Each structure stands twice: as structure tokens, then as C-alpha cells.
Amino acid sequence: MSLSTYRVARHCFQVCLPDAFKAENIIPSFSPFTFEEEGDVLFRMDVEIGQAHASDALDEIGQFDCGGANHGVYATADGGYVFEISLPGENAPLACQMWANADFSSCKSVVMEGSRQQQNFGLNNALMMAFAFAAAPFDTLLIHASVIRHAGYGYLFTAPSGTGKSTHTHLWYKHIPGCDLMNDDNPVVRIIDGRALVFGSPWSGKTPCYRNIYAPIGAITRIEQRPENSVRRMAAIEAFATLLPAVSSMKWDRRVYMSICDTISSLLSIIPVYWLGCRPDEEAARVCFEAVHV
């Protein structure tokens, strides 16, 4: 077994892999986040290759569609959870089963036999959920967004999958001088000493953008496709209702859910949130930039 330590958004966690796995092969997106120093550990994930343990006797919380892949969630008798992560597609096979204690500080993943790509999918998703739920009480949000940096500030764009947030950040990159992409799907937002910061992460969807960088947040913008380009600032209640569904959460777990609600409320007292109705064109990028940039 080999133990590796990673640091994402200033949270450290450990992954213990069997000898058959090399971290640089099974979770290559984590390489920029390797951390050699000692420090407090948010959680530890022990990984094995094998068959899923029986979950029939557990209390089923629900089956959830997560980006085209099914995640089954079950409660254990001691207050912990079991997640069964399937590959994308209807009736797809199981890729990974994760067992976690109540606060996600101790997790175990059983990765199914299969291709390296399938194993990467399962373990990557398990680590993403463990991080999101273990870090929730520490003013930390894993948010479904694309984020671009300009003049030292990070600008987040949220929208349902397929709406065009990646297209919009690409338009900024193409037409607004001085931009660079920080993350294209799952950046981490933290409030530290009263400042709202956005961090790159090992999770970036279909775009391989795994950057160990951070920036103060300039603004967050919700995107909707519209025939005309227009932007407005949201009121606090509307902004809260916009951000909550974009954050990785567990509504059935009071500890996680209330922590996330509190962090979003704190975030809204610091950072403006905008609504952008737009076409996928240069004008949309310029209209948005003029409205939201610091």
C-alpha cells in the first residue's frame, strides 16, 4: 500500500492505494496537488480493488442522477453512509462503492475490476464527494461552475450542464485580454478571514484544467440562454436560490446541509451574484465583463 497526501483549497487529505495502483495513473489530475508537508488531515481514503459489499440491509436514501451517472446512497446503522457510483449511461455497471463515517473523516472505497478509465471515474467521484462533505463545516463549497481569472480576480459562471458556461468562459478567454481558465467544472470556494476565495481543483469535468492556484472572487454569474444579451445583479434571496443547487450537498444530512447554507449566506454578504441572459457570442462576453468585473 502507498499513502499520498494532497492539498486542495488548503485542506489536506490522504489517499492510501493498493500496490496495483500508481497515483499518477489512477488519479493523474491530483498530481499538481501533491503535498509533502505535515498538517491536519481533513479525511483519509483507503482504496481496495474487489467486489462491492452487500448493501441490501442498509437504509436506502435515494438514487440520484449525477451528470448522467447514477449514485445510490444508503445510511449505515452508525450514522455513516455508503455511496454506490455507477458508470455513465442507463443500467451501467458499478464503478466504485464508498463507505464513509458520519463526518467523512474516514472513508473506504472499493474500486471494481475494469479498465483504468472506469476505475479513475469511480475513485475520482468518491474523492470528490468525500472532499465536499468533509470540508462543508469549514466554510468550503465545491461548486458546479466554470471559473476564469482576470486581473487577479476569479469570476465564476454557473448553469445546468449543457447551458453554455464553458462556452462563455471561452469567450472571455478569446475576447477579453489577460484572462486564463482556473477550472471548468468544480472549483472550490472558501471564506478565509472574511475573504471569499476560489481555488482550482482536481475535478474539472471534460476539460483537463487541474491547476493548484487561487484568487479572490470578483463575482458569480448565473447563465441562461437568451436571444439578447443582458445582465443584472440578483437580490440576496434570488442569489441564494441560484447558488444552493449548484453546490455539492446532501439535504438529508443536517450537518452538511446547514453548513453549506451558512457558507452561502456568508458568501452573499461579500460577493455580488449576477444573472446573465446571453447568446454564445463576443458581445455576451463584453456585456458581462463590463457589468461584473472589479
Q: What is the largest CA-CA distance in the chain?
A: 57
Per-residue pLDDT tens digits of the chain, which is 294 residues long: 899 999 999 999 999 999 888 888 899 999 999 999 888 999 999 999 998 888 777 999 998 888 778 899 999 999 999 999 999 888 889 999 999 999 999 999 999 988 889 999 999 999 999 999 999 999 999 999 999 999 999 999 999 888 889 999 999 999 999 999 999 999 999 999 999 999 999 999 889 999 999 999 999 999 999 999 999 999 999 999 999 999 999 999 999 999 999 999 999 999 999 999 999 999 999 999 999 998
What pLDDT was estimated at residue 92?
86
Rounded to an integer, what distance in angstroms lies between the CA atom of residue 202 and that of residue 208? 9
Rounded to an integer, what distance in angstroms lies between the CA atom of residue 64 and that of residue 70? 6
Domains observed in the chain? 2-138 (no CATH), 141-292 (3.40.50)
Cell numbers that stand for 34 in this block: 501533491
Indicate the pairing of strand 273-278 with strand 230-233.
Answer: antiparallel
pTM recorded for the entire structure? 0.95
Please name the residues in contact with 241: beta carbons below 8 A apart, sequence gap of 6 or more.
none
Of 11, 13, 12, 95, the residue nearest 46 (C-alpha): 13
Indicate the pairing of strand 153-158 with strand 94-100.
Answer: unpaired
Rounded to an integer, what distance in angstroms lies between the CA atom of residue 292 and that of residue 21? 45
- 122-141 burial, b at 16+ Cβ within 10 Å, e below that, comes to bbbbbbbbbbbbbbbeebbb
97-100: list long-range contacts, CB under 8 Å, 24+ apart. 97/52, 97/53, 97/55, 98/126, 98/129, 98/130, 99/53, 100/130, 100/133
What pLDDT was estimated at residue 282?
96
What pLDDT was estimated at residue 100?
97
What pLDDT was estimated at residue 21?
87
